[in-house]
Homo-oligomer: A and B are copies of this chain.
Amino acid sequence: MFDPAGLNYDGNGLIPAIAQDETGDVLMMAWMNAEAVSRTLETGRVTYWSRSRQSFWIKGETSGHVQELVEMRVDCDSDCLLLIVRQTGPACHTGRRSCFYTAVRDGETVEIMAPIA
């Protein structure tokens, strides 16, 4: 039986959650508390904890760019989550598919992804 309370949260009660789509692209990393983990599993809609707003953040609730949970995975130390998701539209608030659109190449930053929306 999986118990969200059994995960290893940091001093703020949070655990990092990596969202990856089914093709293997890593889309973003955000944070969850135990209640966000529970809600994500119960609803199938990925729900983070917004550190800046100090509130639950149902991904895509205002933008429509929802993340449907395909599978939640836990790492060996139970201190990080990997979420396999079905992403509608861009995951990044900049309109790009992934938040990781900047690469470091030869000491310079290079944009490797254009906005899709």
Contact = CB atoms under 8 A, between A and B. Distances in A.
A102 B80 contact: no
A99 B71 contact: no
A100 B71 contact: no
A18 B30 CA distance: 12
A107 interface: yes
A80 B99 CA distance: 9
Given A16-B16, A18-B18, A77-B99, A104 B72 contact: yes
A101 interface: yes
B2 A29 contact: no
Contact of A74 (B1, B26, B94, B104): B104
Interface of A: 1-2, 16, 18, 20, 23-26, 28-29, 41, 71-77, 80, 82, 92-94, 96, 99-105, 107-109, 112
